[in-house]
Amino acid sequence: MVYCDTKDSILKWSSEEIIVPYRSPIDRKMHRYFPDFWVKTENGCTLVEIKPKAQTKPPQKKKKTKNRYLKEVYTYGINEAKWNSATEYCIDRGWKFKIITEDDLL
């Protein structure tokens, strides 16, 4: 947030104020997704989600820890549904959608 406040190129920003509806692949019901940031620059608007890199890739099945694997599949499925909906939401508005991981912050 300090970054957004101190960058001259950022004209406006907000945190978790945009609501993106999405359908959960788990219960097939509509839910609300609040991306981490909305950022406006001279080049347009971007919705930004910040996630650990491990949550941005499909989980790899392991021989042990079945419960952990199932939880990872659940989390990834929900995230993927949110991100697909956010992408469509942004396309409809002429915005961009970006996922930032620890790799981007280094």
| Region label for 65, one of left (φ > 0), alpha (ψ between -120 and 50) or beta (otherwise) | left
**How big, in percent rounded to 5, are the helix, strand and coil portions of the chain?**
40, 30, 30
Flag whether pLDDT at 106 surpasses 70. Answer: no
Query: 25 Cβ partners below 8 Å, 6+ apart?
Result: 77, 78, 80, 81
Domain ranges of the chain: 2-105
| Region label for 26, one of left (φ > 0), alpha (ψ between -120 and 50) or beta (otherwise) | alpha
Task: Look at 31 and 104; give whichever has higher pLDDT.
Answer: 31
Could you read off the pLDDT of 23-74 as tens digits, one per residue?
Answer: 999 999 999 999 999 999 999 999 999 999 988 999 888 777 788 888 889 9
- Of 81, 79, 78, 86, the C-alpha closest to 19 is 86
